Amino acid sequence: IYGEVQRVLGRTLSTEDLKILLGFTNYLGLPAEVISLLVNYCKERAREKGSLRNPSLRSIEKEAYYWAEQGIDTMEEAVAFMQNQNLRRTQLARLMELLQIRGRKLTPGEEKYAASWMDMGFAEDVIALAYERTCLNTGGLSWAYMNKILTSWQQAGLLTLEQVQKKDKKPTPKGASGELGAAELEAIQKVLRGV
């Protein structure tokens, strides 16, 4: 694994790097093929974040601990995890497009909101409706406001657009139904009588 990690990172490993690498196998119990996938995954993630430098073994170590905590210690689990992460990145990119966020990355707080909405299982059209309501009611994107809308829908079991449109009707303001109430009719009669 020593030679493979040096090749992927494009540099000679220091004594400290070797101790970290040894910890992956001895302490975390990760097999060599999983370590190889881990290093490649971290390198790819660094590229996606815009870094031109390869990740340090210290940063890879943080991810190794995360993998170990998640029980990712076989090739199959590592591949499944990486595919899931790629899917989430694709979903996040579509969500950013839906929310008309271009030319910047999400802040950590915004990413938490977005991840929670994806975890709730909403279809894109439901998130689009929540975004529209948020913009109409607040004048723009308010993450906290939109989160309240989506959380209330999720708690009510409304995950599809049809469910939301059927069950989550906004209360109709008085007089907006097209029918005049008694007070409105009386006011019109007074105007017509010239009172």
pLDDT of residue 174: 47
> In terms of Cα–Cα distance, which of 93, 90, 159, 166 is closest to 126?
159
Residue 121: DSSP 8-state? T
pLDDT of residue 170: 57
65, 28 Cβ separation under 8 angstroms: yes
pLDDT of residue 178: 52
pLDDT less than 50: residues of the chain: 172-176
pLDDT of residue 23: 94
Could you tell me which residues come within 8 angstroms of residue 160 by beta carbon, excluding any fewer than 6 positions away? 123, 126
pLDDT of residue 180: 55
**What are 64's two structure tokens?**
């190794």
Q: Is 0.75 topped by the overall pTM?
A: no
Helix (H) or strand (E) holding 123: none
pLDDT of residue 175: 46
| Residue reference for tokens 């494009």 | 10
pLDDT of residue 51: 84
pLDDT of residue 106: 87
Q: For residues 117 and 121, what is the distance between their CA atoms, to the nearest angstrom?
A: 7
